[in-house]
């Protein structure tokens, strides 16, 4: 049996024990740790640089959980500073790495990201009932889909990929993609999957009932502010907030104003009751 098969069996065995003993925190903690090891070993076997691999910052005692979802062209590295900040505030933080390509080196589908996120969230909810989910760019798009299917205690969307800011070249590619989709998929690779994911959430009806914080910068050259208008309509919870920041570009977790972003994320989680000691 391969290491992957062994870990899968271990996860199944631990999950079965958790079902029998749902109040056993150590079992729930071990389940999350083993789920992370599965992702980490997968990354290592595919020679992913260490900083770009999935990471887990696991508290010793009971703690609220936090899932971080990175962007399409990024990796867990772009979420590490935020992860360290939230860990220092008492959260257990897990950031799975989403693969850009499948086993046949074809661009991975956005649906595969959603499936991985759903699996990670399912495990995190067994670890803790108080969870924060933070998604950046396409990770935010995935988080929106996750929130439409689950009641997430606290949801944060950082520059979520909802509506692209298209230049003339992009507009031509977008038009051509509808006419000759296979050509554009080959030409744009992962970008074609990003566009399809954005189309999906715009065309699929469904509100976001979770408390939601949305942050996007005015100088974001990737996304249009039209996405914020849509999110104001979708996010129906009374504690939801949509904020257009004066600066920060697209990668808010690596911008010069990232400390302000991190503080806003924590204060929002605190406001909605997802804080250490609340589980």
Contacts of 266 (CB under 8 A, 6+ apart): 85, 86, 89
The domains found in the chain, sorted by start residue, are 62-271 (3.40.50.1820)
| Alpha-helical regions (H) of 89-243 | 110-127, 138-149, 168-179, 181-188, 190-203, 226-234
Distances (CA, A) of 168 to 149, 173, 176, 182: 36, 9, 12, 20
Per-residue model confidence as pLDDT tens digits over 99-149: 876 655 667 889 999 999 999 999 999 999 999 999 999 999 999 999 999
Residue 4 is predicted with a pLDDT of 56
- For the whole prediction, is pTM greater than 0.95? no
**pLDDT band at residue 205, thresholds of 50, 70 and 90?**
confident
Q: Which residues contact 88 (CB under 8 A, 6 or more apart)?
A: none
Q: Dump pLDDT digits (tens) for 26-69.
A: 999 999 999 999 999 999 998 999 999 999 999 999 999 999 99
């Amino acid at each position: 049996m391969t290491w992957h098969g062994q870990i899968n069996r271990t996860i199944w065995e631990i999950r079965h024990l958790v079902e029998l003993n749902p109040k056993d925190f150590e079992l729930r903690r071990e389940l999350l740790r083993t789920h992370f090891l599965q992702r980490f070993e997968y990354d290592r076997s595919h020679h992913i640089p260490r900083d770009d691999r999935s990471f887990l910052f696991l508290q010793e005692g009971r703690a609220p959980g936090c899932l971080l979802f990175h962007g399409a062209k990024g990796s867990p590295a772009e979420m590490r500073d935020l992860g360290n900040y939230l860990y220092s505030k008492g959260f257990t933080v897990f950031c799975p790495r989403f693969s850009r390509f499948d086993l046949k080196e074809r661009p991975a589908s956005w649906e595969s990201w959603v499936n991985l996120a759903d699996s990670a969230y399912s495990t995190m909810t067994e670890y803790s009932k108080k969870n924060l989910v933070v998604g950046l760019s396409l990770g935010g798009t995935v988080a929106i889909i996750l929130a439409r299917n689950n009641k997430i205690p606290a949801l944060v969307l950082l520059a979520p990929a909802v509506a692209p800011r298209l230049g003339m070249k992009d507009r031509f590619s977008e038009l051509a993609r509808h006419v000759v989709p296979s050509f554009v998929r080959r030409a744009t690779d992962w970008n074609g999957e990003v566009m399809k994911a954005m189309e999906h959430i715009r065309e699929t009806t469904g509100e976001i009932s979770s408390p939601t914080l949305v942050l996007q910068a005015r100088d974001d050259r990737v996304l249009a502010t039209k996405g914020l208008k849509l999110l104001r309509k979708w996010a129906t919870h009374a504690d939801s907030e949509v904020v257009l920041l004066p600066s920060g570009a697209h990668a808010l977790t690596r911008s010069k104003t990232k400390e302000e972003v991190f503080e806003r994320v924590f204060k929002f989680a605190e406001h909605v009751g997802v804080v250490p000691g609340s589980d």
